[in-house]
Structure 1
């Protein structure tokens, strides 16, 4: 990724998130340093200096910005975003409306954009998905369809059944006969991720913008079972390990991965997990390590079929010429992850 000053200034003006974590800007006239994504008014080109890390900015005498908080691990989201997520947790069965948001002092259109930016759904859709998760719990514990329907805020039985079908792929009255997977959104420094788990481990972990995500969810329902939004101990464990990873304290995940695939795909995914953090492999090298030197294309396809990002590190596979090849979670995230892991590996080698 280019880091010359002209490119970095263009990224600053565009608030480009691809430099998040390894490029900062110092403003000479204020003595403050910021993330390139800082929402503050942009300074003149002659008044800025760029740094590759936070320590360098502080050593040069710059103070951290109070708006973008560059010393925090995660970029700050809007106050409304965090507050409303907490309100949904504490009031999971509440049916939210635009008037509710106005009463709390929030602009509904601003809230809608914030949730769409992070999760790809509106605030109302996000809240409803959480209510549907509670409704499925009601059904699984012997409650009636009518009780579950009212808990989820649906006056129409047909509307409730349609929503449940879209969410978990089965009619409500039959859910007790199936293994139910649990889904939840997790926030990371480089964007929201959808996690799907059960008691055995992780089935899916993907960034919200991944174009193949709807197909992956459909395939997961077909291979394993229906999905509902809710809370699960495995989600808590995953969130904890991801927090350690992004804070630079964890390079190898211990949480079990149970994504379903062919025997060959499973072999590729296992080979991916053997690549140490801070290192990369080409598709050819990965095929050779599996004693399948002629299966480079098949290895590439299996790499792309991986549904557990970061933990099964398909981002560590690059082109034979060292180029950043395709990555469903966006190329800039692949570069970010590789830079992050290289920093972790260097830090560990120096201790």
Structure 2
């Protein structure tokens, strides 16, 4: 989400339909669940009902759908026929997981769709479709809504239609939840964007930024591995990690105490334990991690274990960099990794 200091400026631009702000921001309207371009002709919402985003992907992951009036992702003056066609198809079935055959059925070249979406929106078509799908799954998590409330607000006329959609997205039908182990998922707002926390009454299992690449697969692996259903809600550990994250981002905490459940191989767990021993404000290389484990040649395996971490920030994989000093990779994005390292070096708690 855009920093709060810009909100008044962008709201004024929205009221005045100022075209020079096209592409600078998108606005999500809480009361309608849609997101719009700055020049949308629809009746303007109240300020308190607006949320502003830098990219369409952020708005999609925040559960907003494209406005049918201003069509922020398919305006004729801005995009090609292919993009407009695909955006419309996604809206007809936003839970769909796209496969190669689906493009052939529409007589659309997959690489062309990828290239045109990337050029116009900064994300591929598959990334757009995933963001729309995940936005639906995160919608009730974000608001803490009950299953029936979610069914109504999502626009499903029948409970069976909603159950099917819920199952495709989160992996378990609501009517079956009582028969399974249940993990609860909650939306946590942070200075670096929203995160999703998943846990039970004993520990946190997953903590990731909602726009992390591959998040959907992570959630699916977690659900299968724990044989659990994942539903909106909160638990003691989730409330604890939310409080600790607030203190962390305010520079008042460097060591997390919330209970964690580490799901991984013995080697992966040993790598994660080494990560948690890296002092805040310091960094290590993958080679350093391998050496600390007594396996100096296992630096590639250490890098893979680092990337498999499902507990962002708490297990500080952002403190691992390349041997040459470059930042290396980070699931949450290199901009966040750089911010976190700088934040920890500047924190008064160090």
Report the TM-score when normalising by structure 1: 0.62
Structure 2 match to 1:335: 338
| Residue correspondence of structure 1 range 52-67 to structure 2 within 5 A | none
CA contact (8 A) 1:130 1:229 kept: no
Structure 1 match to 2:286: 283
Structure 1 match to 2:255: 252
| Residue correspondence of structure 1 range 207-222 to structure 2 within 5 A | 207-222=209-224
Deviation track 1:113-143 (CA, whole Å, cap 9, x = no partner) reads 888526624336868855586545x8xxxxx
Specify whether residues 115 and 203 from structure 1 end up closer, same or farther in structure 2 by C-alpha distance, changes over 3 A only: farther
- How far has the Cα of 1:239 moved from its partner? 1.1
- How far has the Cα of 1:323 moved from its partner? 1.0
**Root-mean-square deviation over aligned CA pairs:** 3.9
* Alignment pair present for 1:200 and 2:198: no
- How far has the Cα of 1:164 moved from its partner? 2.4
* Alignment pair present for 1:223 and 2:225: yes
Report the TM-score when normalising by structure 2: 0.62
Structure 2 match to 1:312: 315
| Residue correspondence of structure 1 range 51-200 to structure 2 within 5 A | 84=30, 105=46, 116-117=57-58, 120-123=61-64, 131=140, 134-135=145-146, 154-200=156-202
- How far has the Cα of 1:105 moved from its partner? 3.8
Deviation track 1:7-27 (CA, whole Å, cap 9, x = no partner) reads xxxxxxxxxx9xx9xxxxxxx
- How far has the Cα of 1:153 moved from its partner? 6.6
Deviation track 1:261-282 (CA, whole Å, cap 9, x = no partner) reads 1111111111110111011111
Structure 2 match to 1:11: none
Deviation track 1:53-83 (CA, whole Å, cap 9, x = no partner) reads xxxxxxxxxxxxxxxxxxxxxxxxx9x86x9
Specify whether residues 107 and 300 from structure 1 end up closer, same or farther in structure 2 by C-alpha distance, changes over 3 A only: same
Q: What SS does structure 1 have at the residue aligned with 2:184?
A: strand
CA contact (8 A) 1:112 1:123 kept: no
Q: What SS does structure 1 have at the residue aligned with 2:326?
A: coil
Specify whether residues 309 and 286 from structure 1 end up closer, same or farther in structure 2 by C-alpha distance, changes over 3 A only: same
State which structure, 1 or 2, has the greater radius of gyration over its C-alpha atoms: 1
CA contact (8 A) 1:185 1:194 kept: yes
* Alignment pair present for 1:326 and 2:267: no
> Which stretch has the larger CA shift, 106-115 or 177-186?
106-115
Distance 1:188 1:303 in 2: 23
Distance 2:207 2:271 in 1: 17
What 5-or-longer segments of structure 1 have no aligned partner?
1-16, 21-33, 42-77, 88-94, 139-146
Structure 1 match to 2:235: 232
